[in-house]
Structure 1
């Protein structure tokens, strides 16, 4: 259970949160027409006769959109309904030429599922938690009104009309902004793993409607909820919940009542504002779409969908821990996004080949490099870094030299900086820039002897039991060798010399 509470004058309140995530299905054509779904086209350049609701134009379901919705359902361990049906949701708005939206209210394609969010003490999630998913249905998107093109008129762009959306409806199982943020991040990761949505919230291909209510701690009754529409980032989802929950508590403690309504989130102020009273299903006069037959899925189609699924985040995280020996933290961070794990796995394979060791023996080194060292160098260089130079081969060559003791961790960073700036070969950089460790035990012995001779008093103190001085001798030896001595060899020689 989350520890998140809102402290009010009359006591503590808890928040109940449910999310409806609209995810644009990855497909080249729209849900019921052949018009393109490519982002960034000129207004009204991607509108078919079906999208424009010309008389006599009948919709035809896009099989790829159906396939992607089924695969998404399977990825969240949901029930797949072999029989589903489209309904008309009737409302009149300028960006909806038909006067209705084709959706699925009564018989969705995907039923009950679940999603695991992992414990994160720092974020305020003390335990792993299962969030229930009520359903996924597919529907068509509406167009877009543009109010900033003319001083007295609004323009309509119908490019998005008919674009396929999956509406993924959670149970009201979240009790803090942190849990909601973790849920959206995990859901976005799953969609990207599966390839059913690109998850680009800034481009509008994934957005969330945030349902929030509050109640006194321990009260079994749910409060009246509000719905904040079209929130387009994880940070804004969390901010909208924070503000809306606090607002509702203030209203209730002042003796007011919460109105069931639709609200909008203002990113500039971090506040929500009223948009309109919340409609119920009967307000939309839903009825089965007479132009579309029910969807009936056969066993072979479902088997093909399941066979096409990749290894999913939870399974991958478990494998990284059990087979590669990674820490819980590294495994979680590496599996949080498709691009991150793809880079890691490519680099891991290249490094294991170069060093000639099994992947599990070099996985921790590669994980630390991937999550901390390489991004740190890239960030420090800023515009000086050329990401095209950050190839798996170049990074593997650096890790190879480090694993063999030819370069130190500090030298690995320096070499990577030069590679990012210039694209030079890492081995050539190490040779010509003097960035190689000295592992010659004879040279290191000579340096150690000089250090011990110059610090005879400290040698006596060390032998008398002051073992913390060992670090001092290491530091002095490294300084004498200008930081180029192999620390492992230095430690060995010092231990031998000091007895």
Structure 2
């Protein structure tokens, strides 16, 4: 159970959260037309006659969009409805030329499922929790109104009109901003693993409608508000934080919460009223007469199931149980599909899993953060990383030398073997050369040698450091340790 509570003047309040996530389906064409779906295209350059609602134009269902939605449903262990139907949601708006949206109200494609969010004590999630998903239905997106292009007119871009969306509706199972943030991150990760949505919230391909109400712990649900089109995990959490506190303030002042649609202002971190839902719109839903009911075969569903990749929870468990990777490292490495794919390519090139995971978590992530790059833009490839780790494992490079080589790889893109060869960075285990350096170090620090022999054993690290420094970091640390012990105890 979440321990998140809002402390009001009259006692504690609990927040109740449900999310409706709209995820754009990855497909080359729209849900009911052959128009393209590429992001960033010139306005109104991806609009078919169907999208523009020209007379006599009939929708033709894109089977790839259905396949992707079914695969998404299977990834959250949801019921796949063998029979579903498209309905018309009737309303007039300038970005919807048909005067209706084709959606699925009564008979959605995907039924109930669950998404597991992991425990995170620091974030206030004391234990793992299953968040219920009520349904996933497929619908077409509307176009976009642009109000900043002309002083007196609004322009309409219909490029998004007809793009396929999955609306993923959670149950009101979340009880804190942290749980909601974890849910959105996990859902986005699942969509990216499956390949059904790219999850790029900043581009609008995934956005959330945030439903929030408050109540005294254990009481019935309160009246909820819905904040539309929130486009980042951070903003989802900020929306909940502000809206819950606002509702508590209203109730404690003796007021009532109005069921309404609100908007989040990222500049102020607050929500504001957009329209009341006191008088619910009558959308006059009815079955779309131009589309037959959708009937799925068992063969199609099993093909969708067989096409699923290893999903993050299963991958995390395998990393821990079979590869011996720590739970924390496994969490991070499996959080995003792209990261997991990069890491597994390192293993495919022969790297040892524990060594590779530790190196990725420390050296690689540190470098990428410093450079402001993501894993997709890493200057070092997985085969190069595996080659570097192999040089450490076989004793060619010490840990110190491997850091030097890695920095050069980041700058030049050269392979580690080439760098080692050209710059003479190979680690040495030449006992004669190391003994000579140790003799000089001990001779120049006779006072510290005497202190060491009198029991000040912490000085051993000083002698190791001086020896490594004198040899430019190229001496084998294990050999240095052995020879130093022998020399100091002689």
Q: TM-score range by the shorter chain?
A: over 0.9
1:73 and 2:63 are equivalent in the alignment: no
> Following TM superposition, by how much is the alpha carbon of 1:488 offset from its aligned partner in structure 2, in angstroms?
1.8
Tell me the equivalent position of 1:166.
166
For residue 432 of structure 2, give the secondary structure of its aligned residue in structure 1.
helix
Tell me the equivalent position of 1:30.
30
**Residue segments in structure 2 that go unaligned for 5+ positions in a row:** none
> Following TM superposition, by how much is the alpha carbon of 1:403 offset from its aligned partner in structure 2, in angstroms?
1.5
Distance 1:281 1:85 in 2: 23
CA contact (8 A) 2:114 2:131 kept: yes
Tell me the equivalent position of 1:425.
415
1:11 and 2:18 are equivalent in the alignment: no
Tell me the equivalent position of 1:309.
308
Distance 2:376 2:282 in 1: 55
Distance 2:378 2:319 in 1: 27
Q: Which residues in structure 2 correspond to 1:128-147 (within 5 Å)?
A: 128-147=128-147
> Following TM superposition, by how much is the alpha carbon of 1:233 offset from its aligned partner in structure 2, in angstroms?
0.9
Moved more, 183-192 or 389-398: 389-398
> Following TM superposition, by how much is the alpha carbon of 1:381 offset from its aligned partner in structure 2, in angstroms?
5.0
The alignment's TM-score, normalised by the length of structure 1, stands at 0.92
Tell me the equivalent position of 1:359.
none
Distance 2:267 2:41 in 1: 27
CA deviations 1:468-497 (Å, max 9, x no partner) are 343233223323333332222222233444
Tell me the equivalent position of 2:226.
227
The alignment's TM-score, normalised by the length of structure 2, stands at 0.94
CA deviations 1:337-390 (Å, max 9, x no partner) are 1111111111122143xxxxxxxxx1122112223212322443569x995742
Distance 1:71 1:178 in 2: 27
Q: Which residues in structure 2 correspond to 1:249-260 (within 5 Å)?
A: 249-260=248-259
For residue 329 of structure 2, give the secondary structure of its aligned residue in structure 1.
helix
Q: Which residues in structure 2 correspond to 1:395-410 (within 5 Å)?
A: 395-410=385-400
Distance 2:361 2:407 in 1: 16
Is the alpha carbon distance of 1:281 and 1:105 closer, same or farther for their aligned partners in structure 2, counting shifts above 3 Å?
Answer: farther
1:289 and 2:279 are equivalent in the alignment: no
For residue 282 of structure 2, give the secondary structure of its aligned residue in structure 1.
helix
Distance 2:371 2:134 in 1: 46
Moved more, 226-235 or 386-395: 386-395
Distance 1:435 1:5 in 2: 58
Tell me the equivalent position of 1:241.
240
Distance 2:170 2:178 in 1: 16
CA contact (8 A) 2:86 2:287 kept: yes
Distance 1:428 1:44 in 2: 51
Tell me the equivalent position of 2:106.
106
Moved more, 471-480 or 24-33: 471-480
Tell me the equivalent position of 1:358.
none
1:149 and 2:149 are equivalent in the alignment: yes
> Following TM superposition, by how much is the alpha carbon of 1:34 offset from its aligned partner in structure 2, in angstroms?
1.4
Distance 2:92 2:32 in 1: 20
> Following TM superposition, by how much is the alpha carbon of 1:231 offset from its aligned partner in structure 2, in angstroms?
0.7
1:443 and 2:433 are equivalent in the alignment: yes
Distance 1:133 1:382 in 2: 35
Which of 441, 464, 478 matches 1:474?
464
Distance 2:376 2:92 in 1: 51
Tell me the equivalent position of 2:178.
178
Tell me the equivalent position of 1:363.
353
Tell me the equivalent position of 1:489.
479
CA contact (8 A) 1:386 1:421 kept: no
CA contact (8 A) 2:333 2:343 kept: yes
Give aligned pairs, total: 488
Tell me the equivalent position of 1:356.
none
Moved more, 29-38 or 303-312: 29-38
> Following TM superposition, by how much is the alpha carbon of 1:282 offset from its aligned partner in structure 2, in angstroms?
6.3
CA contact (8 A) 1:381 1:417 kept: no
Moved more, 480-489 or 12-21: 480-489
